[in-house]
Amino acid sequence: MAGRRSIRGLSLVFVLSACEQVEQVEATEPLGYDFFLGNTSRDILQDLRIDRRVVNTLHLPMALDRMLITLASLNPDVPNLGITMVQDGQGWQLESPGMGEVASWLQRTSIQRQPRFSLELCVDGDGRASPLWTEGIAVAIGRERAEVFAKDRIPLSPTAAAWLEVLREAMPDFEQRAEDLARPFGLVPMDVVVAAGNRASSDAFAWVDSHIGINLEAFGEAYGEPDDGGVDRMTRILSHEYVHLLSYALYPDHRELRDTPLNRALWTMFFEGIGDYFSLSNRWQPEADGSYSPVTAETLQRLEPVLVDRLEALAEADSASAESELRAGISMGKFDEKWGSLPVALWLHSEAARRGEQELLASTIRLNREAVLPLALRWISSEYQGRVRALLERD
């Protein structure tokens, strides 16, 4: 046994084996390696995946090609987790279990506490953007452009200021939803900083594990002056972005799931569809038996043929330009015209009425993009089922 070290609620025990023999290994320090468990599991999972330093910092008596590692829980209600790592020539790779299971375990075994939610206004008195807002928009538009926008003097307009008050009012409602939003992911709620700005972005976005950006000016452009439903709208949009943070935490290597144009589209439909599910207002509410509301029926009748046509074409796409053109509208633009993510959200909404929300969402999240086509096959109009089945068999 190489050693034992407790870090922020975790006790990690390394058991190293080779040639079916367990070797007693002495380390300069208990693990000789700095594990960091932050607001999400992403850091530690990335470290496990590309872990060269564990072996490099231990004085090993032999060359190893496999490590059996016991993650020992300090939470008496959560059992220890055994994982296997293998050497593939590029470093140590996690062989089993999957990243999602490890992420879920890390969250469940960590010390439970109430998450911290904070709101930061990112426009100063002169109308300049703060460094935090610049960091957020740089993810989408690049650092150089973000810094140019940050220097512009754009004071809050009266409409943007009104939406800021709505945001402040929505924060307690959003905090109360956090645990319910995290539950189907198998995660505990994470800390969140909500950054409120007024330039160079869509109305809402998420970045860097625990940040949500709200563009107050874009809210005014999209929704006008806030009305009586403003707090509900803001809470739903915050929930949508929070679900994105949870998805990133659960799937830190999500890029590996997007290896073809079709799979990239299916990932987007899953990722944005789960977000849209939590964005749905009452007008989309299905009947108790799962049957569609009138607005849902009309929307799906319009979007389903587009969805099938686009996915079939993406399965054959042979260039980045063709893929980009075919993906247009999959999850961006006017809400009721999102041909990819919105049908997923609406199908989930109807199926949840029949099966129960938590079980359905947990199984969908566990399967991620692989849940999309089976869900479509269960709910899409009969005239398109054969084409969806062909895509499923191809995938």
pLDDT tens-digit readout, 220-264: 999 999 999 999 999 999 999 999 999 988 887 777 777 899 999
Both tokens of 294, joined, read 């009138």
Q: Determine contact, residues 342/269, Cβ cutoff 8 Å.
A: no
| pLDDT bucket at 392, cuts 50 / 70 / 90 | very high
Return the pLDDT at 199: 93
Q: Determine contact, residues 72/12, Cβ cutoff 8 Å.
A: yes
Does the structure show a pLDDT above 80 at 61? no
pLDDT digits (tens, 9 = 90+) for 84-106: 777 666 666 777 887 777 777 76
Q: What is the pTM of this model?
A: 0.73
Mean pLDDT of 41-52: 34
Task: Estimate the crossing angle of helix 382-394 against helix 372-379, to 10 degrees.
Answer: 160
Coil/strand/helix, residue 374:
helix
Return the pLDDT at 12: 36
Mean pLDDT of 57-61: 40
Does the structure show a pLDDT above 60 at 47? no
Helices (DSSP H) in 39-91: which residue ranges?
Answer: 42-49, 53-57
Mean pLDDT of 190-218: 91
Task: Annotate 228-286 with DSSP letters as a single string.
Answer: TTHHHHHHHHHHHHHHHHHHHHH-TTGGGG--SHHHHHHHHHHHHHHHHHTT--GGGPP
Q: Please count the helices (runs of H) and the strands (runs of E) in the chain.
A: 15, 10
Task: Annotate 173-211 with DSSP letters as a single string.
Answer: HHHHHHHHHHGGGT-----EEEEEE-SSS-SEEEETTTE
Is the peptide bond between 97 and the residue preceding it cis, with omega within 30 degrees of 0?
yes
Both tokens of 123, joined, read 């426009």
pLDDT digits (tens, 9 = 90+) for 179-189: 889 889 887 77
Which is more confident, 119 or 318?
119
Both tokens of 270, joined, read 């899953």
Does the structure show a pLDDT above 90 at 26? no
Sign of torsion, CA 375 380 383 387? negative
| pLDDT bucket at 83, cuts 50 / 70 / 90 | confident
- Residue 35: what residue type? F
> Exposure of 300 by Cβ count < 10 A (0-12 exposed, 13-18 middle, 19+ buried)?
buried
| pLDDT bucket at 29, cuts 50 / 70 / 90 | very low
| pLDDT bucket at 395, cuts 50 / 70 / 90 | low
Task: Give me the torsion for CA of 177, 182, 183, 189, rounded to 10°.
Answer: -90
Sign of torsion, CA 363 369 375 270? positive
CA distance 291 to 294: 9
CA distance 388 to 315: 12
Does the structure show a pLDDT above 50 at 59? no
Both tokens of 119, joined, read 């709101």
Lowest mean pLDDT among 34-38, 54-58, 241-245, 254-258: 34-38
Average confidence score pLDDT of the chain: 80
Task: Annotate 323-367 with DSSP letters as a single string.
Answer: HHHHHTTSSSSSGGG-TTHHHHHHHHHHHHHHH-HHHHHHHHHHH
Mean pLDDT of 356-371: 91
Neighbours of 391 (CB within 10 A): 19
Does the structure show a pLDDT above 80 at 318? yes
Return the pLDDT at 170: 97
Does the structure show a pLDDT above 50 at 195? yes
Selection from 9, 15, 13, 58 nearest residue 38 by Cα: 9
Does the structure show a pLDDT above 80 at 20? no
| pLDDT bucket at 201, cuts 50 / 70 / 90 | confident
Q: What percent of the chain has pLDDT over 90?
A: 52
CA distance 155 to 48: 45
* CA–CA distances in Å: residue 325 to residues 121, 140, 315, 322: 36, 19, 13, 5
Mean pLDDT of 296-320: 96
CA distance 184 to 314: 30
Q: What percent of the chain has pLDDT over 70?
A: 75
